[in-house]
Amino acid sequence: MFLRYKRTCLAKIKALDLNPKLRNQRDQTQSLSPKKPKPPKKSEIHFADRAFYYGLKITSWGIIFLLLSMVVLIFKMSWPALHHFGFRFFFNTEWNSVTQEFGALALIHGTLFTSLGALILAVPVGVGVALFLNEIAPRRLAHALSFLIETLAAIPSVVYGFWGLFVLVPWLRQSLQPWLVDHFSWMPLFKGYPLGVGIMAASIVLAIMIVPTIASTCREVFRAIPQSHREAALALGATRWEMICLAVLKAGMSGVIGGIILGLGRALGETMAVTMVIGNRIELNWSLLAPAQTMASVLANQYAEADSDLHLSALTGVGLTLFAVSILVNGGARFVVWRIERKFRGAK
Amino acid sequence: MNFKNWTYLQRRIINWMAKIVLFLFTFLALLPLIMILFYVLRQGGNVLSWSFLTTLPGPTGSTGGMANSIVGSLVMVALASIVGIPLGIVSGVYLSEYGVGKTANILRFSLDLLTCVPSIIVGIFVYGIVVIRYGFSAYAGAFSLALIMLPIVARSSEEIFKLMPGHIREAGLALGLSRWRVILQILLPGCRKAVLTAIMLAVARIFGETAPLLFTALGNQFYARSLSQPTASMSVQIFNWARSGFADLEQQAWAGSFVLVTLILFMNLATRFLGRVRS
């Protein structure tokens, strides 16, 4: 019986092969599955899906438009002053709302001077923190300490300024600055009277605030360096510090630079803390002890009570300058960090 | 660097010295944190009382409080969150799910730009667009806070959505869900905790913002009667007290800092805790 069944089956298969009508039928059923499905036409995509996508897209363009209008509006608001003073606006140290004479040089100088001072103080500390947490400290300790460092970044800047004004400034006035004046007043950097408030206090507060930024950027870049580089250095007999110099710092140098520039960006735009400790006098001064004013702090001090349109416009011009500088600085930092991350991608 | 002319002992001594110096740097970085927390706790704790939280600020010589600025801060942060969080999450979804092409790249670039803009510049923008026409108001303050919050929420939620493995999305699509339902019913609920963490960090950040509020919400010695009036906020109130020059108002500024710092640190700790639960 089985044999008979087999015979009929074979006959059927033979018939399939021989009969052109049946063969065609078979080929069609087989060729259906490997055939590629056509991409759906636009009208075939679910309506809700399209609506969702375009909703997202319109929102995105809304945000982009908002940012564009921000740039345009700030430029438009500062145009009267820029037009009135021309390039002189950036090279004039006079800022006087009585004579309606406004120039931003003293403010630009104040911003750059305080930020530079902050960098000099914060860079060794920030890089040191990153190295200690990544390379030396045991994992538990590093975890706890990094949480504390992040907390440092979370404290609002007005509290930093307040603390600086009532704890740091009296200490500077009573102990550090008189000593500096006694011993180093032959240097132009330390000329003047120990007022407490001034560029030195602003630099110290800024330094405290940018240490977490520098440390966290450096840590990320150091983490991107392959572990095998460190092991190679240790295997060749390097001590831990030599390993840090050879494998970590050398390779992570551009990351360190990126972190420094990011910290600089934060220092340039920092407003409240600086406003409270810098002494608020618009003067171009090369002494660390002198009170000064930065671009951000003059905005905080005068913007709400600007008495003339030209004054308001000049203040907005200062804001525009600050805007441009911080975009340039941050763009540079991002480029550097992006490059180092690309360099180490793949090698782990 | 050339190490080969030194003896092993010299190298070990240098190694130890370097370790100690790095430790000292870390200590130096943490010293301000310890000092700030110590002063805020000691000075603010002395002044802080229940009546400080429930009365209006007074002139020097009277016992004032910061009730109106607590309310003002909460109102403005809530308003900013209503605008900023959905917009941020929407652009995060767009960047991670449809994040190729011109629109996405321009959006990413503008969000990066917005992140690095100093917050006082945001204040100028809001001044030009809202305050010049409608005057100082809680709306203006909330608008500036929302602008500061938006890029933080957007970029962090983009990162979070990208971490969701692709096969989970594909599973949803294979079951016949359309793309928007995959996003709304699989992606968002799956990332709920992480997104919540990111939102809390952004809210903690804008609670402490002062600079943009100086000339958008201005400040107020009383409760604001409506949202279109100048509104007090905790950070601006602390700033004004600190610059008043009166010793008793300075004491109140310490108490205000105590409240603000406690609130922000609590939110940061909470995100830390949430993150630990997740991992």
Chain B residues near residue A73 by CB distance under 8 angstroms: 125, 128-129
Return the structure tokens found at A196: 């407490």
Q: How confident is the model at residue B57 (pLDDT cuts 50, 70, 90)?
A: confident
Q: Which amino acid is at A110?
A: G
Q: What is the pLDDT of residue A304?
A: 85
Encode burial over B71-95: b for 16+ CB neighbours within 10 A, e otherwise.
bbbebbbebbbebbbebbbbbbbbb
Are the beta carbons of A215 and A130 closer than 8 angstroms? yes
Average the pLDDT over A73-97 and give the result: 91
Are the beta carbons of A73 and B129 closer than 8 angstroms? yes
The verdict on a CB contact (< 8 Å) between B23 and A246 is: no
Q: For residue range A110-134, what is the model confidence (pLDDT) as tens digits?
A: 999 999 999 999 999 999 999 999 9
Report the distance separating Cα A237 and Cα A223, nearest Å.
22
Average the pLDDT over A2-7 and give the result: 59
Only one residue has tokens 């009929």, namely A8
Decide if A206 is inside a domain. Answer: yes
Are the beta carbons of A222 and A131 closer than 8 angstroms? yes
Least confident of A33-47, A69-83, B54-68, B160-174: A33-47
**DSSP label at A303?**
G
CATH number, domain with residue A121: 1.10.3720.10
Q: What is the pLDDT of residue B279?
A: 43
Beta bridge partners of residue A47, listed in sequence order: none
Decide if A308 is inside a domain. Answer: yes
| Owning domain of residue A321 | 105-344
Return the structure tokens found at A143: 């975890």
Q: For residue range B87-131, what is the model confidence (pLDDT) as tens digits?
A: 999 999 999 988 888 889 899 989 988 988 999 999 999 999 999
Report the distance separating Cα A320 and Cα A71, nearest Å.
8
Report the distance separating Cα A109 and Cα B183, nearest Å.
50
Q: What is the pLDDT of residue A305?
A: 82
Least confident of A3-7, A206-210, B211-215: A3-7
Q: What is the pLDDT of residue B124?
A: 94
Q: For residue range B245-273, what is the model confidence (pLDDT) as tens digits?
A: 888 888 899 999 999 999 999 999 888 88
Are the beta carbons of A320 and A85 closer than 8 angstroms? no
Q: What is the pLDDT of residue A41?
A: 61
Q: For residue range B126-176, what is the model confidence (pLDDT) as tens digits?
A: 999 999 999 999 999 999 999 999 999 999 999 999 998 989 999 999 998
Least confident of A29-33, A94-98, A125-129, B14-18: A29-33
Decide if A307 is inside a domain. Answer: yes
Strand ranges inside chain A, DSSP E: 95-96, 101-102
Decide if A82 is inside a domain. Answer: no
Decide if A100 is inside a domain. Answer: no
Domain count, chain A: 1
Q: For residue range B26-47, what is the model confidence (pLDDT) as tens digits?
A: 999 999 999 999 999 999 988 8
Shortest Cα–Cα distance, B104 to chain A (Å): 8
Are the beta carbons of A200 and A164 closer than 8 angstroms? no
Are the beta carbons of A194 and A172 closer than 8 angstroms? yes
Q: For residue range A256-295, what is the model confidence (pLDDT) as tens digits?
A: 888 898 899 999 999 999 999 998 889 888 889 999 999 9
Report the distance separating Cα B80 and Cα B197, nearest Å.
17
Report the distance separating Cα B95 and Cα B185, nearest Å.
18
Tell me which of A332 and B231 has the higher pLDDT. B231
User: What single string gives the DSSP state of each residue in chain B?
Assistant: ---TTS-HHHHHHHHHHHHHHHHHHHHHHHHHHHHHHHHIIIIIHHH--HHHHHS----TTS----HHHHHHHHHHHHHHHHHHHHHHHHHHHHHHHS--SHHHHHHHHHHHHHHHS-HHHHHHHHIIIIIHHH-S-HHHHHHHHHHHHHHHHHHHHHHHHHHS-HHHHHHHHHTT--HHHHIIIIIHHHTHHHHHHHHHHHHHHHHT--HHHHTTT---SS--SSTTS----HHHHHHHHHTS--HHHHHHHHHHHHHHHHHHHHHHHHHHHHHHHH-
Only one residue has tokens 């962090």, namely B156
Shortest Cα–Cα distance, B153 to chain A (Å): 13
Find the closest chain B residue to A334 by CA distance: B112
Does residue A209 carry a pLDDT above 80? yes
Q: What mean pLDDT is reported for chain A?
A: 86
Q: What is the pLDDT of residue B235?
A: 93
Residue pairs between chains A and B whose CB atoms are closer than 8 Å? 240
Decide if A73 is inside a domain. Answer: no
Q: What is the pLDDT of residue A28?
A: 55
Q: What is the pLDDT of residue B157?
A: 93
Are the beta carbons of A208 and A163 closer than 8 angstroms? no
Q: What is the pLDDT of residue B174?
A: 92
- Cα dihedral A342, A345, A346, A348 sign: positive
Does residue A43 carry a pLDDT above 80? no
Q: What is the pLDDT of residue A348?
A: 44
Decide if A10 is inside a domain. Answer: no
Only one residue has tokens 């999305």, namely B169
Report the distance separating Cα B232 and Cα B214, nearest Å.
10
Q: How confident is the model at residue A17 (pLDDT cuts 50, 70, 90)?
A: low
A304 interfaces chain B, CB cutoff of 8 Å: yes
Full set of structural domains in chain B with CATH: 71-278 (1.10.3720.10)
Shortest Cα–Cα distance, B221 to chain A (Å): 16
Chain A residues near residue B238 by CB distance under 8 angstroms: 158-159, 162
Chain B residues near residue A273 by CB distance under 8 angstroms: none
For A95, phi then psi, to 5°, come to -140, 100
Q: What is the pLDDT of residue B151?
A: 94
Decide if A154 is inside a domain. Answer: yes
Q: For residue range A130-167, what is the model confidence (pLDDT) as tens digits?
A: 999 999 999 899 999 998 998 999 999 999 999 999 99
Chain B residues near residue A53 by CB distance under 8 angstroms: 98, 179-180
B197 interfaces chain A, CB cutoff of 8 Å: no
Chain A residues near residue B204 by CB distance under 8 angstroms: 154
Nearest alpha carbon to residue B31 among A265, A121, A143: A121
Only one residue has tokens 């929420």, namely B153
Return the structure tokens found at A285: 């001064």
The verdict on a CB contact (< 8 Å) between A304 and B260 is: no
Are the beta carbons of B165 and B190 closer than 8 angstroms? no
Angle ∠(B160,B166,B171) on CA atoms, nearest 5 = 125
